[in-house]
Amino acid sequence: MHNFSWKTSFFIILVCTVIIVICLNKAPSPYQAYNPQTTVGNVFTLKIPNTKLVLLGVTKNDLDEARKLTLAHDTQGLAKLAVEYRIILLDHDTQVRVIEKGFEITRLRILDGPYVTMDGWTYNSFLK
């Protein structure tokens, strides 16, 4: 656990809240048609039209919690998940490899950027 001053913690939460608000205003619904091209081992680019960031849950439960908070427009809750490292915010166009395929969500390994080699879960509709 990090020992941040209250000012540092406030700043981190504020920055995460702003990023999440931007994503909330532009993110499409994750409930789109199943993508049959999503097969284990394939490399994809994360894409959401008109946004610069894509959210990954560290676990399936974290992704589900982020979905609920997104639907509730709870930016403080999403910021808390980010500060607790339960969600990862990736740049649009990040390269990922499919590790485990599901009908609605898929486990990915990040191939570039600051989170390279980390795994996370996202919706199949975000894979292009």
Task: pLDDT tens for the chain, 128 residues: list them.
Answer: 456 566 666 666 656 665 665 555 544 444 444 455 667 888 988 877 777 888 899 999 999 999 999 899 998 999 999 999 999 988 888 899 999 988 889 999 999 999 999 999 988 887 77
User: Is residue 44, in this structure, part of any structural domain at all?
Assistant: yes
User: Is residue 88, in this structure, part of any structural domain at all?
Assistant: yes
The CA-based angle 11-115-20, given to 5 degrees, is 40
Question: Can you give the C-alpha Rg of the chain in angstroms?
Answer: 14
Q: Residue 101 gets which letter from DSSP?
A: E
- The domain total for the chain is 1
User: Is residue 61, in this structure, part of any structural domain at all?
Assistant: yes
Contact criterion met (CB below 8 Å) for 14 and 21: no
Tallying the residues shown for the chain, one arrives at 128
Domain that holds residue 10: 6-126
User: Is residue 48, in this structure, part of any structural domain at all?
Assistant: yes
User: Is residue 1, in this structure, part of any structural domain at all?
Assistant: no
User: Is residue 57, in this structure, part of any structural domain at all?
Assistant: yes
Could you give the CA distance from residue 55 to residue 121 in angstroms, rounded to a whole number? 9
User: Is residue 15, in this structure, part of any structural domain at all?
Assistant: yes
Neighbours of 59 (CB within 10 A): 14
Look at the alpha carbons of 49, 54, 59, 65 in this order and tell me if their dihedral is positive or negative: negative
User: Is residue 85, in this structure, part of any structural domain at all?
Assistant: yes
The rounded Cα 105 to chain-centroid distance in angstroms is 12
